[in-house]
A and B are shown apart, each in its own frame.
Chain A
Amino acid sequence: MNNYLQLEKKTKIKNTVSKVVIYFFLAFWAILVLFPFYWMILSSLKSYAQYNGERIPKFFTLYPTLQNYKEAFTTVPLMKYFGNTVLFAVITTSIMLMVSTLAAFAFARLEFKGKNLVFTVFLSLMMIPNELVVITNFTTITNLDLRNTFTGLILPSVTSVFYIYLLKENFAQIPDELYYAAKVDGTSDLKYLIKVMVPISKPTIVSIVILKIIECWNSYVWPHLITDDEAYYLVSNGIQEIRENGFGRENVPAMMAAVVAISIPLIIIFLVFRNQIMTGVSKSGTKG
């Protein structure tokens, strides 16, 4: 009996130790993830003189100031970048959603000749890396004189084969009976799509929309290639511009204020739609 108790005690200690190690490890990674965020907020609150006076950077500040934020929004047209990005994200996402919904409906609901062939071609396009098509798109947009326009920014960013596929899978799960019932009632296909299919697939559509908005917010390469006029910069290009010749190279606190301002909208979206985003990403991750 004594022996048994000892053994139990031993396992208990062993379990506690392993729990401590696990928590320590997880906390360590959490700190690694959070630290850059902490540092950008901290640096953005230090005054210019204070920041540059610290030969050894301090981990806290006793004299926080919002001066840097004021500077970030007045010295560079940060507000303009924000407006551009929101406009770009909203229009791109709306067009993408319309185009994808219609196509997904055709694949899921309608019967037509060559459907399987066309769908296979669509699927195989998912494997084409963007880098391969960017070159021609750049030439196309340049030749159409669409550089430094929203049309040029938006059009090539609309296509998203994967979302068509995701929506199609979702639509295909909706029972046929609903469709036939609607047909008997004389509902047109388009009305059925908008009034029945779209509302039923709302969760998927919401995650698609959020993921596309995140993608737009963070897109850098295409806007970088197609715009060199500050009036059309998105936040990514704006931040790059700020880095290269924004506030004068050394004004790190103002830079950090701009970085915080750019990061906050997405973090808020993430905290609000946490579940949709994470299921959306894990779904799109398991597409293979």
Chain B
Amino acid sequence: MGKENNLKAWLYLLPAFIFLVVFMIYPLIDVLVYSFEEGYNFVSQKFFGIGFYNYSYILHDPYFLQAIKNTFIMVIITVPISTGVALLISLGLSSIKPLRKLFQTIYFLPYVTNTLAVGLVFMILFKKTAYSDGLVNLLINWFGGESVDFIDGPYWAKMFVMCFYIIWVVMPFKILILTSALASVKEDYYNAAKVDGTSKSRTFFKITLPMISPMIFYLIITGFIGAFKEYSDAVALFGTNLNAAGMNTIVGYVYDMLYGNSGGYPSYASAAAIILFIIVLTITCINLLVSRKHVHY
């Protein structure tokens, strides 16, 4: 009976197991191996040595350094702003009754839209062409500012659109999580606070914030991870040639190395992916350490 059960269970697991081994576990080991194989040739599948050359190559590649810089700037700007604004919006949502459902539905829309497609709209809104300065520049002009080309113009302008779009895309998830976290705080606590005549701000900092701190913290961690893996939003705004636009990200660099005009170097791609993984892991560990001190479970 025992043996038969064992066999049966494995039979049920088999399909999932095959998929995971072939497309996750094996690639995981393989990517490490790749990253240390020097001078790997994709066509002949040969290499001539083992070592850190791939890492040293990409760490000296100006495109990679640019990608790291871009990614870090995006992370540092978008994670705090999106989390903070999402918190404000969720607080606003939980304090109103009429129209709440409608607002929630609207806020969730970006989650179900194709980021490549909507990115195109953002590009049109911000782009300055020979025909027209575009809508955003029109607004800037109304307020007395000068037109800026946000898509092919100066670095900070491109970075602004990029961050704006990233925030627009990640907000639905954060608002949803925070609204449900706020809804799960027991009414009793608020009632008790009311009876005691506690002020609104005090209630917020002493009750609401500690109660939802695990969720805020969860959003910060996933936000960091997600922002470090930023790629397709950049493609949506600036096209596939991100290096030329100076807006490449680490993940973008990995894919460029793998495939496309400058591709065919899986070893460099692997080394870059491993570096990304190490960065994400480090940041997550730091986050976990910080949370021990500040999060109330």
Binding site for B on A (CB under 8 A): 19, 22-23, 25-26, 29-30, 32-34, 36-37, 39-40, 43, 52, 54-57, 98-100, 102-103, 105-107, 110-113, 115, 118, 122, 125, 128-129, 131-140, 155-156, 158-159, 161, 164, 189, 214, 217-218, 220-221, 224-225, 235-236, 239-240, 243-244, 250, 252, 255-256, 258-259, 262-263, 266-267, 269-271, 274, 277-278, 281-282, 285-286, 288
> Would A26 and B103 count as touching, CB distance under 8 A?
yes
Q: List 11 A-B contacts (CB under 8 A).
A: A22-B92, A56-B138, A99-B16, A122-B20, A132-B277, A135-B269, A158-B23, A159-B20, A243-B120, A263-B118, A277-B108
Q: Residue A57 contacts which of B138, B232, B251 (CB distance < 8 angstroms)?
A: B138
Once the chains are docked, how many angstroms separate the CA of A19 from the CA of B229?
A: 38
Interface presence of B124 (CB below 8 A):
yes
Q: Which residues of B contact A164 (CB under 8 A)?
A: 16
Beta-carbon contact of B88 and A30 below 8 Å: no
What residues on A are CB-neighbors of B15 within 8 Å? 98-99, 102-103
CB B198 to nearest CB in A, in angstroms, measures 15
> 10 additional contacts, CB 8 Å, given A29-B85, A106-B9, A115-B9?
A30-B106, A40-B121, A57-B135, A122-B20, A135-B27, A159-B20, A218-B114, A225-B258, A243-B120, A244-B240
For A262, the chain B residues whose CB sits under 8 A away are 114, 117
Bound complex: CA A262 to CA B120 (Å)? 12
Contact indicator A33/B107 (Cβ below 8 Å) = yes
CB distance from B68 to the nearest CB of A (A): 14
Q: How far is A281 from B176 in the complex, measured between Cα atoms in Å?
A: 8
CA distance A244 to B245 in the complex (A): 14
Q: Is the CB of B31 within 8 A of A132?
A: yes
Give Cα A13 to B173, complex, Å.
Answer: 34
Given contacts A132-B31, A132-B277, A240-B240, contact A274 B105 (CB under 8 A): yes
* Bound form: Cα–Cα A270–B135 in Å: 29
* B89 at interface, CB cutoff 8 A: yes
State the B residues within 8 Å of A (CB). 5-6, 8-10, 12-13, 15-17, 19-20, 22-28, 30-31, 34, 42, 85, 88-89, 92-93, 95-96, 99, 103-118, 120-125, 129, 131-135, 138, 168, 171, 173, 176-177, 180, 215, 218, 221-222, 225, 229, 231-232, 235-236, 239-240, 251, 254-255, 258-259, 266, 269-270, 273-274, 276-277, 280
Q: Is the beta-carbon distance between A34 and B109 smaller than 8 angstroms? A: yes
- A39: which of B13, B104, B125, B218 is its contact (CB, 8 Å)? B125
Knowing A100-B16, A256-B124, the reply to whether A133 touches B113 (Cβ < 8 A) is: no
